[in-house]
Amino acid sequence: MNYRHAFHAGNFADVFKHVLLTRILLYLLRKDGALRYLDTHAGVGRYDLAGDEAGRTGEWREGVGRIVGAPAPAEIAGLLAPWLAAVGPVNPEGMPMSYPGSPAIAQTLLRSQDRLTLCELHADDAQALAANMGRDRRLKVLRMDGYTALRAYVPPVERRGLVLVDPPFEAFDEFDRMTKSCLEAWRKWPTGVYALWHPIKDEAAVDLLHERLRAAGVSRLLRLELSLARPQRDGRLVGSGLAVINPPHVLADEARLLLPWLAERMGAAPGSRVRVDENPV
């Protein structure tokens, strides 16, 4: 499969992932000390929702398109506000004109003392990423395999920060590669925060991911999932998850507020499910 995220930018999985990413970063920013953000599969940074790829699928309309401008209870609106600010301007119809990938969200939120390391293996995407991120002394774009970067760049000199592992799941052994690489990094830097994104199609594979993390000794683990329908192994993607190592202590409670509302807004169908499990067995 030749995966191109531009076809899927701003869909339900992106909204789920990026709203939670924003909440994690904001928690880390409560302390004055510098932090490092490492993105192992960065993509191009920002996506044109009026472009050919996004227009062909229209997936963003059922994701970010259902959230921007939607009325929300005050507490949920407050939690969403920083992510919505990163999404940026809307067109005369009230729809977003572009969608920020995780690098653009982190760039928006982080401070002058913080640093971003953005890894993208594909040459064209790495070039587009550098162009989209602009001149910013805080960040470095590396054209390299994200798992190789994970081994090479932890622990960071700041000793605080977040690693987002968000592979395209093109390879049949992606769960295995992600698990092994993240555990290797965690052993070198056990105090870092790691957010491991994954699709939910094969639920046994997701269970195994968490079992392996726990068996390796990860003592603080948060399992976050949003499925808009019952996942089918050979069907279209309807479920998305994050395994968060060393999660902020407020993240589970924030997710319990946010995820049911997001699921309802983005069209939850029979068989839909939200899951927030702390230290799942």
The per-residue pLDDT for range 8-55, each reduced to its tens digit, is: 999 999 999 999 999 999 999 999 999 999 999 999 999 999 888 877
Please give the average per-residue pLDDT across 72-83, as a whole number.
98
The SS3 assignment for 185 reads helix
Among 268, 267, 242, 270, which residue's Cα sits nearest to residue 255?
242
The SS3 assignment for 137 reads coil
Among 43, 19, 20, 13, which residue's Cα sits nearest to residue 118?
43
Judged against a pLDDT cut of 80, whether residue 174 lies above it is answered with yes
Please give the average per-residue pLDDT across 208-232, as a whole number.
96
Around Cβ 247, how many Cβ atoms within 10 Å? 25
C-alpha 136, offset from chain centre? 22
User: How far apart, in Å, are the Cα atoms of 215 and each of 105, 128, 208, 242?
Assistant: 33, 39, 10, 18
Per-residue model confidence (pLDDT) at position 191: 97
Token digits of residue 133: 């991120």
What does CATH list as the number for 5-278?
Answer: 3.40.50.150
Among 233, 173, 178, which residue's Cα sits nearest to residue 203?
233
60/80 Cα distance (integer angstroms): 17
Pairing relation of β-strands 221-227 and 273-278? antiparallel
16/225 Cα distance (integer angstroms): 9
Per-residue model confidence (pLDDT) at position 54: 79
Percent of the chain at pLDDT above 90? 90
* Residue pLDDT, tens place only, 244-280: 999 999 999 999 999 999 999 999 999 999 999 997 6
Q: In sequence order, what are the residues at sequence separation of 6 or more whose Cβ sits closer than 8 angstroms to the Cβ of residue 33?
A: 158, 160
Catalytic positions are 166
Handedness of CA 174, 180, 184, 186 (dihedral sign): positive
* Residue pLDDT, tens place only, 124-160: 999 999 999 999 999 999 999 999 999 999 999 999 9
Per-residue model confidence (pLDDT) at position 4: 67
Among 131, 160, 152, which residue's Cα sits nearest to residue 34?
160
pTM above 0.85, yes or no: yes
